[in-house]
Structure 1
Amino acid sequence: MPQILSYSPASTDKSPTKDTRHVLVYLVSGNPGLIDYYEPFLSTLHTLFETSSVQKGASIHIRGRNLAGFDDSDHDEPFTKDNPPRNLEFQIQHVLSDIASVKVEAKGPRNGTPFDDVIFIGHSVGSYITLEVFHRHLHAHPEIRDVNLRAAILLFPTITHIAQSPSGRKLDLLRSTPFLDQNAHRIAKWFIDLCPASVLRFIIRRFMGFPPHAAEVTLRFIQSRDGVWQALHMGKDEMRTIGEETWAEELWEIADEAAEKDRDVPKFFFFFGKGDHWVAEECKDEFINRRLQHAEREGPKHKRGKTRVVLDEDAIPHSFCIHHSEKVAEKVKFWIDEILSI
């Protein structure tokens, strides 16, 4: 199972010049944090860029990687009480370190240099991680101080009060029940280990309706040594951590230089699903209203929030990467074109 998915621009007879803008599109996954779930989405996005004539002199690189702890090979020792699975803060640091280390891979003078622009795509809790990265960048986090974070597209974002969502209430109940809090991962793993792989595959394909690609990723995930514990541990930490919005208003504002160039492109794009079981509707509405009020307030243009909220009308589910990768990739491509249009 790959820990990293990376797509570079196709080689052509005309190599990039020193004036070509190299743009990194970086995906932060949801939970479970296995990047292989997103292979159809990222490969479709890559194909859309490769076949598009709207490049604006930009060379688009795409990258995504596993969140920490979801693949047994990324940690030497099994998880124990003294070596617990990775929490949400660990994942934020994991992404910060990765984004700081990635450089342009291309022929010519730009090879090994920093990207000109970085555009994040966050899915589910990956949206929360993305906003934390932008927040820390705003406060000159030493690892990414010199990274040019251009914008972010946040898909089915779980960014406030996740424990109040329909699915969040169930997971929070598990977290608040001492026996289940300590043993849910053991019980789940015990049942999984009782079933042959053929039976598990049948259940995933027939009863859960997963296509072959997602079914194989899920099978490898639940049969791994530590994956189930990692997912539950991180999920419970999400219930504790993702509550009241704590980011300062300046996070949503555009930089002075963008205002001077009269850029009207949003800094953040939010794509909310209809009836998303991981999002509390009343909390989502409050969040959207705050963003609208910030955008419309009096004052300098760069002091107004620059966000765009899109509400899904196609009944795309929260776990879009299972069945709806192509449709969401088309939406994301359209927004990235807009981001790079100026």
Structure 2
Amino acid sequence: MDERLAFLRAESPSSLPLPCSFTHRAPGASGEAELNYWPSRRGSIQAPHHLMLFILGNPGLLGYYPPFLNHLHSLLPPSYALLATSHIGHSTRIASPKEPLDLPQQLESKIELVKSLTKYLDGWAKENGRSHHALPKISLMGHSVGAWLSCEIMKKLNTDPQPENWPIQRGFLLFPTLGWISNTWNGWTLWPIFHRPVKPLLPLLSPLLRPLLPYISLPPTSLSLVRSPEVIKHVLHLSKSEMQLIRDPDIDWHRSQNIEDKQQGLFGVWAGGNLDGWVGKDGPLVQEALGGLGGGRVKTLEGVPHAFCLTQANSEAVAEAVASWINSIPQDTNVTPGSEPKNEPLGGTVIPM
């Protein structure tokens, strides 16, 4: 058994999530990534029946997401476990590699993780006496560029012509950036920070800004990022790679994920109206490929921005949208969160990307 995944058998801690990490060994994509784990509520004596792997956006800092993931975990069936993965180099707690990873390298690291999880969970379930047809299922969920990574992983691993044989059962896309990021509103306006001469200078500003931080209203995770020049370097390197490489979306593939069996394929959550500055014309194209608002695979959330994870109200609205698919709860395709004030922090419409 892969000792890198031994945390999956840990007893449920007194508080969730369980902090852990995974050491990647993929060629050209090695390094340690920070993880958070929510075991299934029925305990860790047996392998979970279903594991949902959440891939973060960029910056890939886990501290942005506990309000969303805690609420989602509470809504999932008790046989579901939830695992969130950051990106290599995107942690203020784990040392970053000297050279930052680009988008293809981060993709290879995620493919390694999914393959390792599949092998480990299958072996664990067989120890429990489960048959081949009762082995654990894996679903992916990604925010922003994490949604793009989820799609690419599914393309590479779900190659069997029969969907019931796919190693990844479903994918849930949250405010996905699936095409032409550099041509979006935020892509245009923030272009300078991803290129010379500004890009290499930004990490150097971190020490200069520290005396000002007590007087600036930022989420705690954003404060930790500003204090970490190495992580800033990794974040900007991945951002530039996204701008260069995320171009034409594979609409035919997305259309192939709109299958009759709702236990398989893709589902997506988008911001209503023009609230998402990181999503352009790819949004309507992918929504249409998945059957549109009336097809059961697409939801739009009015008043919820791209960086939904920065407030409790928006985090809960997105968690409930995802859980409604998993639990088959009837729900309108246009969802409006409660009346709780959002009080978006500084940068709430910009990060994560």
Instruction: State if a TM-score over 0.5 links the two structures.
Output: yes
**Aligned pair partner of 1:331 in 307, 311, 321:** 321
**Aligned pair partner of 2:300 in 311, 318, 322:** 311
Gaps of 5+ in 2: 1-18, 21-33, 330-353
- Letter in structure 1 aligned against 2:151: L
Match of 1:277 in 2: 277
Match of 1:71 in 2: 91
**Aligned pair partner of 1:47 in 74, 78, 82:** 74
**Aligned pair partner of 1:155 in 165, 174, 178:** 174
- Which whole-Å deviations, capped at 9, do the CAs of 1:234-259 have from their partners, x for residues lacking one? 1111111111123643872478xxx6
Match of 1:320 in 2: 308
Contact 1:265 1:338 in 2 (8 A): no
Report the alpha carbon displacement of residue 187 of structure 1 after superposing the two structures with TM. Answer: 2.5
| Other structure's SS at 1:98 match | helix
- Deviating 4+ runs (over 6 angstroms): 105-108
**Aligned pair partner of 1:97 in 112, 115, 139:** 112
| Other structure's SS at 1:182 match | coil
Match of 1:202 in 2: 215
Contact 1:87 1:234 in 2 (8 A): yes
Bigger mean CA deviation after superposition, 149-158 or 64-73: 64-73
| Other structure's SS at 2:80 match | strand
Q: Would the alpha carbon gap of residues 136 and 167 (structure 1) be closer, same or farther in structure 2, given more than 3 Å must change?
A: same
Aligned residues: 284
Match of 1:238 in 2: 242
Q: Would the alpha carbon gap of residues 204 and 147 (structure 1) be closer, same or farther in structure 2, given more than 3 Å must change?
A: farther
**Aligned pair partner of 1:29 in 20, 37, 56:** 56
Distance in 1 of aligned mates of 2:245 and 2:135: 31
Q: Would the alpha carbon gap of residues 139 and 106 (structure 1) be closer, same or farther in structure 2, given more than 3 Å must change?
A: closer
Match of 2:40 in 1: 9
Q: Would the alpha carbon gap of residues 40 and 264 (structure 1) be closer, same or farther in structure 2, given more than 3 Å must change?
A: closer
**Aligned pair partner of 1:189 in 203, 218, 224:** 203
Report the alpha carbon displacement of residue 184 of structure 1 after superposing the two structures with TM. Answer: 2.5
Distance in 2 of aligned mates of 1:93 and 1:307: 31
Q: TM-score, normalised by structure 2?
A: 0.70
Q: Would the alpha carbon gap of residues 227 and 327 (structure 1) be closer, same or farther in structure 2, given more than 3 Å must change?
A: same
Distance in 1 of aligned mates of 2:169 and 2:97: 38
Distance in 2 of aligned mates of 1:249 and 1:196: 46
Report the alpha carbon displacement of residue 189 of structure 1 after superposing the two structures with TM. Answer: 2.5
Report the alpha carbon displacement of residue 91 of structure 1 after superposing the two structures with TM. Answer: 1.2
Gaps of 5+ in 1: 50-54, 141-145, 176-180, 206-214, 297-305
Distance in 1 of aligned mates of 2:286 and 2:41: 40
Contact 1:71 1:226 in 2 (8 A): no
Distance in 2 of aligned mates of 1:241 and 1:225: 24
| Other structure's SS at 2:216 match | helix
Contact 2:142 2:150 in 1 (8 A): yes
Distance in 1 of aligned mates of 2:224 and 2:166: 35
- Letter in structure 1 aligned against 2:74: T
Contact 2:257 2:290 in 1 (8 A): no
Distance in 2 of aligned mates of 1:123 and 1:227: 19
What are the equivalent positions in structure 2 for 1:235-274 lying under 5 Å apart?
235-246=239-250, 248-249=252-253, 252-253=256-257, 263-265=261-263, 267-274=265-272
Q: Would the alpha carbon gap of residues 115 and 171 (structure 1) be closer, same or farther in structure 2, given more than 3 Å must change?
A: farther
Q: Would the alpha carbon gap of residues 291 and 108 (structure 1) be closer, same or farther in structure 2, given more than 3 Å must change?
A: closer
Report the alpha carbon displacement of residue 174 of structure 1 after superposing the two structures with TM. Answer: 4.8
Distance in 1 of aligned mates of 2:290 and 2:189: 29
Match of 1:131 in 2: 151
Report the alpha carbon displacement of residue 7 of structure 1 after superposing the two structures with TM. Answer: 0.7
Bigger mean CA deviation after superposition, 225-234 or 241-250: 241-250
Question: Could you say what the CA RMSD is over the residues aligned between the two structures, in angstroms?
Answer: 3.4
Contact 2:61 2:86 in 1 (8 A): yes
Q: Would the alpha carbon gap of residues 108 and 41 (structure 1) be closer, same or farther in structure 2, given more than 3 Å must change?
A: farther
Q: TM-score, normalised by structure 1?
A: 0.72
Greater relative contact order, per chain length (Cα 8 Å cut-off, separation 6+)? 1
Report the alpha carbon displacement of residue 325 of structure 1 after superposing the two structures with TM. Answer: 1.6
What are the equivalent positions in structure 2 for 1:223-234 lying under 5 Å apart?
223-234=227-238
Q: In terms of Rg, which structure is larger?
A: 1
Q: Would the alpha carbon gap of residues 21 and 192 (structure 1) be closer, same or farther in structure 2, given more than 3 Å must change?
A: closer
Report the alpha carbon displacement of residue 217 of structure 1 after superposing the two structures with TM. Answer: 1.5
Contact 2:55 2:85 in 1 (8 A): yes
- Which whole-Å deviations, capped at 9, do the CAs of 1:53-101 have from their partners, x for residues lacking one? xx4xx611100121111126655653xxxx3x11111111111111222
Match of 1:118 in 2: 138
